[in-house]
Amino acid sequence: MHLSSLLDRFAEPETLKMAKLGRELRAQGIDVIDLSLGEPDFDTPQHIKDAAIKAINDNFSHYTPVSGYLDLREAVCTKLKRDNNLDYKPENIVTSTGAKQSLANAILALVDENDEVVIPTPYWVTYSELVKIARGKVVEIHCGLETGFKVTPAQLEAAITPKTKVFMFSSPCNPSGAVYSKAELAALAEVFRKYPQIIILSDEIYEYINFGGQHESIAQFDDLKDRIVLINGLSKGFAMTGWRLGYIAANTTIAKACEKLQGQFTSGTCSITQKAGVVALTTDLKPSFEMTAEFTRRRAKTLELVKTISGFKCFEPEGAFYIFPDVSAYYGKSYNGEVIKNAADFSMFLLNTAHVSSVMGDAFGEPNCVRFSFANSMTNIEKAWARIADALAKLN
């Protein structure tokens, strides 16, 4: 069997691989606590579910326009004005089967073979793999703990070449939890002004899960707005991961290109999801803020527990629901003759010994770190960190 060479160019998402390994152990009757996955553990708010049930009863069961129903694209515009003070029209919006597809559309629409795509580390696993699918070249900028996992204007400028086509980042960031302030975005914007060929992909899917204050979008700088592809979705902020709804806001040339691609791949996303999305985006955000309040409590508990573990160098996340400690102090230590050489070994050791799943940092471009989610119940968070502490105490 000869499969296509495309399959050799990119990797399976490490996050999904870890979740699969955890499930396999669970099938053997082992109580595995999952700190590997990136999704809220809450139910979708009732008023959104009601809108979906109504859509079924109203027979919204047919193909939709590829970029989404007009009322959904209007709802996205309403949301972008309400939350971000950004003016977009429905023709700027393309809704998709999750922000993952929005990102894929944008990368495939923009990146040609050997085009360079600059990505600050750590970044969400899918970014680099999408660039490889498009035959582009990933240019990583290493942003460690010392800069709060954020790219500085000097680092950005140093990474840009005449071949740079796209810069992509997320704020709040998965996996680090870093959040860019308005002043930090303004400083990056200064650099982008000098390089008009660069398109900026701004992934804002964790917008509502922000522990510091106001979310800032780089699209607020009017002179750059035309070069920004704003990406967002309903998965994280509305606990709607399974519903599959993401969107872009971009200039009409890019929006039309994404629509053309999507027209051949998937067509419009689920009609019922779209109708529920209209209600989610235009009504009461109280349930979203209640979820964030709970994430705030879990973050505090996680940080309190992590501080009792020696050897972790830990950044306090300002957004999203992960902590991303540097665990390299444990490299060279061993248990039962097995030496921990890297973050993958560390993650596997925790899975097999503490029965807690996590994701190694290599997948995010930071090989000394490991990502632990706090999108799990307070009980499980306490149990997981107690088990991790016990397991680490066994290392010598």
Stretch 1-40: interaction string toward ligand PMP, x if CB under 6 A: -------------------------------------x--
Minimum CB separation from ligand PMP for residue 136, in Å? 18
| CB nearer to ligand PMP: pick between 229 and 354 | 229
Q: How far is the CB of 371 from ligand PMP (least distance, A)?
A: 11
240/354 with CB nearer ligand PMP? 240
Interface with ligand PMP by CB under 6 A: which range of 59-67, 94-102, 215-223, 286-294?
A: 94-102
25 contacts 221 by C-beta, under 8 angstroms? no
Residue 381 CB, nearest approach to ligand PMP (Å): 19
Query: Nearer to ligand PMP by C-beta: 99 or 391?
Result: 99
Helix axes 286-306, 378-393, angle to 10 degrees: 20
What is the CB-side half-sphere exposure of residue 151 using CA atoms within 13 A?
29
Helices (H), 85-211: 99-110, 126-133, 153-159, 182-193
Q: Do 125 and 175 touch, CB atoms closer than 8 A?
A: no
The span from the CA of 202 to the CA of 254, in Å, is 14
Stretch near ligand PMP under the rule CB under 6 A, chosen from 26-34, 69-77, 93-101, 176-184: 93-101
Stretch that binds ligand PMP, among 86-94, 95-103, 311-319, 375-383 (CB under 6 A): 95-103
Could you tell me the end-to-end alpha-carbon distance of the chain, in angstroms, rounded to an integer?
46
How is 86-118 classified by DSSP, letter by letter? ----GGGEEEESSHHHHHHHHHHHHPPTT-EEE
CB of 327 vs ligand PMP, minimal distance in Å: 21
CB 123 within 8 A of CB 364: yes
Copy the structure tokens of residue 395.
């290392």
Burial of 41 (0-12, 13-18, 19+ CB in 10 A): middle
**Interface stretch with ligand PMP, choices 96-104, 142-150, 159-167, 218-226 (CB under 6 A):** 96-104
> Between residue 103 and residue 122, which ones bind ligand PMP under the rule CB under 6 A?
none
Shortest spacing between CB 99 and ligand PMP, in angstroms: 3
Cβ–Cβ under 8 Å, residues 103 and 118: no
- Of the pair 38, 391, the CB lying nearest ligand PMP is at 38
Q: Label residues 308-322 b or e (16+ Cβ within 10 Å = b).
A: eeeebebbebbbbbb
Residues between 211 and 270 with contacts to ligand PMP, criterion CB under 6 A = 233, 235, 241, 246
Binding residue for ligand PMP, selected from 51, 66, 99, 258, defined by CB under 6 A: 99
Q: Where are the beta strands (DSSP E) in the chain?
A: 33-34, 93-96, 116-120, 137-141, 164-170, 199-203, 228-233, 246-249, 322-323, 334-335, 338-339, 356-357, 359-360, 370-373
Binding mask 176-205 for ligand PMP (x = CB under 6 A): ---------------------------x-x
Instruction: Select 138 or 309, whichever has its Cβ closest to ligand PMP.
Output: 138
Q: Binding marks (x or -) toward ligand PMP, 135..174, rule CB under 6 A?
A: -----------------------------------x---x
Do residues 110 and 254 touch, judged by C-beta distance below 8 A? yes
Residue nearest to ligand PMP (CB): 98
Residues between 49 and 68 with contacts to ligand PMP, criterion CB under 6 A:
none
What does the binding site for ligand PMP look like in residue numbers (CB under 6 A)?
38, 98-100, 124, 170, 174, 203, 205, 233, 235, 241, 246
